[in-house]
Amino acid sequence: MAGLFDKQAEDYLDGRPDYPPHWYSMLAALTPHHSLAWDVGTGNGQAALGVAEHYEQVIATDVSEAQLKCATPHPRVKYLHTPLSLPDDEIVRLIGGEGSVDLVTVALAVHWFDLSTFYPLVTRLLRKPGGVFVVWGYHVPTVSPTIDPLMKRFLHTTLPFWNEKIQLSFDGYKTLPFPFESVGLGCEGQPVSLDIPKKISCDRFLRMLRSWSSVATAKDQGIDLLSEEVVKEFETAWGGPQVIASVTYKGFMLAGKVKL
């Protein structure tokens, strides 16, 4: 969904959690080769940086130029803008050619994609045998018995402003079509569950909420879902804007290889 995160690119960079380092070690252990990885919907490069610790080169692509402008440079990561108008054959050429990619990753983005065109691209680019395709996401974090009811109420206010594709993420990818052969990390209809524990301030938590596409969509329609009143409510329940609290994002993941 091109443009959904352009306006809040900086909030996305500051507010979204990064992923545990052991996730990338776990994924790297699934591929016999570690020459080339493709991180799709890279945004600010969050996942690409982790993948780059295990692969010689990472091609990190996104349809959003605004997101890529916020991306963190890394010597083994090459960021590419791939507008929706770019032909599939050109994408294959830019990434490295058919059968060239050892690992394809999509972090919290595959639910926005046109799967009828994206999955054939993955199939063309993955090394056969040996290439692995991984998608993951996470649910709204749990914080405390004081914060969680506020979060539930806030989430309810956002529901009219989400694109319908978000339901795949709300379902934890249990309803995501995933026609790839399991490699031991979930399978179609049965993603694996993984926790993402973090210690963050209320300010950062609110930046995460501001990065949501539903919040930006509501704001475009003149509705401020994170009004001063709502922000104050969160800050009071949290104990202050700079107070650090433990939060847990409930992650989910699917990994597979091309069926031969």
Residue 49 falls inside a structural domain: yes
Residue 88: φ, ψ to 5°: -60, -40
First to last CA, the chain: 31
Residue 226 falls inside a structural domain: no
pLDDT in tens, 203-249: 999 999 998 989 999 999 999 999 999 999 999 999 999 999 999 99
Q: How many CA atoms lie within 13 A of 200 on its CB side?
A: 23
Which domain covers residue 66, as residue numbers? 9-140+165-195+250-257
Extract the tokens encoding 40.
Answer: 């799709």
Residue 203 falls inside a structural domain: no
- 3-class SS shares of the chain: helix, strand, coil, % to 5: 35, 25, 40
pLDDT in tens, 5-58: 444 445 444 546 889 999 999 999 999 999 999 999 999 899 999 999 999 999
Extract the tokens encoding 164.
Answer: 């319908």
Residue 13 falls inside a structural domain: yes
Share the mean pLDDT of the chain.
92
What does pTM read for this prediction?
A: 0.90
Rounded distance between C-alpha atoms, residue 174 and residue 190, angstroms: 6
CB 94 within 8 A of CB 59: yes
Residue 66 falls inside a structural domain: yes
pLDDT at 170 over 80: yes
Q: What CATH number should be reported for the domain holding residue 88?
A: 3.40.50.150
State residue 14's pLDDT score: 57
Rounded distance between C-alpha atoms, residue 40 and residue 61, angstroms: 5
Domain count, the chain: 1
pLDDT in tens, 149-162: 999 999 999 999 99
pLDDT in tens, 93-133: 999 999 999 999 999 999 999 999 999 999 999 999 999 99
pLDDT at 61 over 50: yes
Percent of the chain surpassing pLDDT 90: 88
Residue 208 falls inside a structural domain: no
